[in-house]
Amino acid sequence: MRRDAYVIRVLEPPRLAAHRREPLLNVPPVITVLAAAMLLIQLVRDWVDVETGIEILALFAFIPARYDPSVLADGVLPGGVAADAWTFITYAFLHGGWAHVGLNLLWMLAFGTPVARRFGVLRFLSFFAFTAAAGAGLHLVTHEGELVPMIGASAAVSGFMAAALRFMFADGGRAWRPGVAEQAVHAPAPPLMDVMRDRRVIGFVVVWFVINLAFGLGEPAGLVDGSIAWQAHMGGFLAGLLAFPLFDPIRRRPGSDSYSRTSRF
C-alpha cells in the first residue's frame, strides 16, 4: 500500500473532512474592507491634482507641528480641534505610494487575520485605532514641532504583530502550522511573562526591533522613499503587546480553571 494512501486511511473522518473544507485563503471581511478603503484612498490621491493632494495631507495626515503653537498658529492647518483628534487615526489610511500600501496590506493580511478572527469586528477596529493612535503618540513625543506629515498603517500593523504573538505561540509554537492556527485563535492567551519566555517570541521581537532601527536610522538607498517613522512602529507594537488583554474577548470564568469567550462589542 502506498504511504500517502495509508496516511489518508488512518486520518479520523472529522479531521479529514475539516481539512478538505479549509479554504486556501479565508480573509476576514473586516480585513477586506480596510484593505479596500486604503487602496481606494491611494487611487483617489493618485487621481487628484497636486494642490488637492496637499490639502488631503494637511487635513488627514499626522503632523506634529499641529500640536505646537510655537511652530504653527491656530488655523494654519485645516480641521481645527477635530482634526487634532482624528489625525491620530486617519493618517493610517494614507500611504506614500502603491509599494507602501501594498507592503502594509501584506503584513496586515498575515498578522491581522488571526487577530480579527479572535477579536471580532468591533474589537478589531478599536484595536486598530488604539495602536495607530499609540504610534502617533510616540511619534509626536520624538518629533515635537516637526512639519513633515506622517502617513501609513505600519503602527497599527505592528500592533497586530504584537497581538498575534500573545496567543499564536501558546501551544509551543505549533499554532503557526497549517491546520492548527484556528485552534490558537480560540484558545486562551498565556500571561505576557510566559509568552516572553518563549525563545521564538524573543527572537521575533529582537529581529523586529533591529530591522526597524536599521531601516529607520540607516534608510537604505533604493529600498525606501522618504524617512521611516520607526518610533511609530514601536509605539504601535508596544501598545499591542501590553494592551492585548483589554481587547481579548476570551476570559477565565470566575472560580474556574476553564475559559470562555465574552460577548463581542
pLDDT digits (tens, 9 = 90+) for 96-148: 999 999 999 999 999 999 999 999 999 999 999 999 999 999 999 999 989 99
Instruction: Determine what percent of the chain is predicted with pLDDT higher than 90.
Output: 55
What is each CA distance from 249 to 94, 188, 228, in whole angstroms? 30, 9, 33
Handedness of CA 254, 114, 131, 158 (dihedral sign): positive
The CA–CA distances, whole Å, from 42 to 48, 66, 151, 156 equal 10, 23, 12, 18
DSSP state of 16: H
Q: Would the pTM of this model clear 0.85, i.e. be above it? A: no
Choose between 7 and 124: higher pLDDT.
124
Query: CA-CA distance, 143 to 150, in Å (whole number)?
Result: 10
Q: Mean pLDDT throughout 243-258? A: 71
Q: Which residues pair with 259 in a beta bridge?
A: 252
Stated as kind and residue range, the H or E segment containing 160 is helix 154-168
Yes or no: say if 157 and 135 are a contact pair by the CB < 8 Å rule: no
What pLDDT sits at residue 214?
79
95 vs 2, residue with greater confidence: 95
